[in-house]
Amino acid sequence: MALEINALPLSYVAHALAVAGAVMVLVWNIYFRGGLAWESDNKNLIFNVHPVLMLIGLVIMGGEAIISYKALPFKKAEKKLIHLVLHAIALILGIIGIYMAFKNHNESGLANLYSLHSWLGIGVIVLYGIQWIYGFVVFFYPGGSGDVRRESLPWHVLFGMFVYILAVANSALGFLEKLTFLESSGIDKYGSEAFLVNFTAIVAVLYGTFVLLTALSRAPVEDHESYSPI
């Protein structure tokens, strides 16, 4: 069932929010938090890679992958490939982002997997990986039979949206957790950094909302079979 609104204008809003979110998380971690590093004596720089990759990867790239079927003026086969590749990029960035959080904790002598955010994060990346592998095998290569694809498609779409909503929600939870740590360490609760973190989380939630609205809205007439079995 599609909403009786056009997908394309909604996708423009989503793209704008994606750019804003990417810029904001980079400004936060580079300008306010001191930068990004794979290796550093300052372990905070290693951790900074985590929120950047998780937001740009799972949330933004994952969202762009979802709306690619409704927003791109290409043939279905081309959009299917773009959808697959964007989700693969999102998954890879998410895995690296989680690795950087573990790397920071291990090198700093901090405990791992003690918070709800970390538990949900592991769950999201596992579910995301399962979803991608299933989609690749059934809809891309070697490809299931017509009946399998037809029966799988609604569940693939529904499960994908569930995992994406969970990813967006967990990103907001992560921003809250990090900001709480920073405020307990002395940053101004009403300072520019605190406002930037909160607004970045809000932009992420708004972006996720427009991704879902775009996915549920009406595709162009000439592309009315975007979500039909391949």
Residue 224 exposed, middle or buried by CB count within 10 Å (0-12, 13-18, 19+): exposed
* pLDDT at residue 221 in the model: 60
Cis peptide before 9 (omega within 30 of 0): no
Q: Buried b vs exposed e over 12-38: b needs ≥16 C-beta within 10 Å? A: ebbbebbebbbebbbebbeebbeebbe
Tokens of 169: 């929600």
Low-confidence ranges of the chain (pLDDT < 50): 224-230
Rounded to an integer, what distance in angstroms lies between the CA atom of residue 152 and that of residue 155? 5
* pLDDT at residue 228 in the model: 41
Q: What is the pTM of this model?
A: 0.92
Residue 206 exposed, middle or buried by CB count within 10 Å (0-12, 13-18, 19+): middle
Rounded to an integer, what distance in angstroms lies between the CA atom of residue 132 and that of residue 3? 26
DSSP string, 151-181: HHHHHHHHHHHHHHHHHHHHHHHHHHHHHHH
Q: Which residue has the tokens 């809809």?
A: 139
